[in-house]
């Protein structure tokens, strides 16, 4: 596995070693020892899987009292995956990073607790699998506004994103509850 820090060094792109032959391919998406060797000692407690269609934007979600680290992988299709630092004490507070995750690249993105997460679907459909370091607690969930100009995410050009009601009313960085 290759561990590539992003512009926000705690957000890490993971590129697996892929073994291919006439039968197909094999790869490890997670290996505790290899992650630990790169400073990522993680304990996952929940796995999630979503399917989204072209133009869907999900996020930017986070849990304020039960912060989740997430290892995000696109099993089918392609997404523009985004993490936003919401830790007020961080030098990178309010900054974002994006990585294209795809079934072709077979890469993953580790997003630590303290970051909001979201993505938009670039392919006709995308199946996104993510491992979480804490369980989902609905009353702890918050949504950062996806198009907040103070954050300034350069989402891929789309005519109209398809949003849930929750994502449509996300709060801007100036108003959303953040981490210390």
Catalytic residues: 61, 130
**Phi-psi label, residue 146: left if phi above 0, alpha if psi -120 to 50, beta otherwise:** alpha
Q: How distant, in Å, are the alpha carbons of 6, 113, 120, 130 from that of 2?
A: 13, 21, 25, 18
Length of the chain: 180
Burial 94-115 (b: 16+ CB within 10 A, else e): bebbbbbbbbeebbbbbbbbbb
Strand 108-111 to 12-15 pairing: antiparallel
Q: What are the backbone dihedrals phi and psi of residue 167, each rounded to the nearest 5 degrees, phi first?
A: -75, -30
């Amino acid at each position: 596995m290759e561990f590539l820090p992003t512009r926000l060094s705690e957000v890490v792109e993971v590129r697996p070693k892929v073994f291919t032959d006439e039968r197909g391919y094999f790869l490890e998406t997670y290996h505790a020892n290899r992650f630990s060797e790169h400073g990522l000692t993680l304990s996952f407690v929940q796995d999630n899987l979503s399917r989204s269609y072209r133009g869907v934007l999900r996020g930017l979600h986070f849990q304020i009292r039960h912060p989740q680290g997430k290892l995000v992988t696109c099993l089918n299709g392609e997404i523009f995956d985004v993490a936003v630092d919401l830790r007020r004490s961080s030098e990178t507070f309010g900054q974002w990073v994006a990585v294209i995750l795809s079934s072709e690249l077979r890469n993953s993105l580790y997003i630590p607790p303290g970051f909001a997460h979201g993505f938009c679907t670039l392919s006709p459909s995308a199946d996104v699998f993510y491992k979480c370091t804490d369980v989902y607690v609905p009353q702890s969930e918050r949504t950062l506004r996806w198009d907040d100009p103070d954050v300034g995410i350069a989402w891929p050009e789309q005519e109209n994103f398809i949003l849930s009601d929750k994502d449509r009313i996300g709060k801007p960085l100036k108003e959303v509850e953040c981490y210390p």
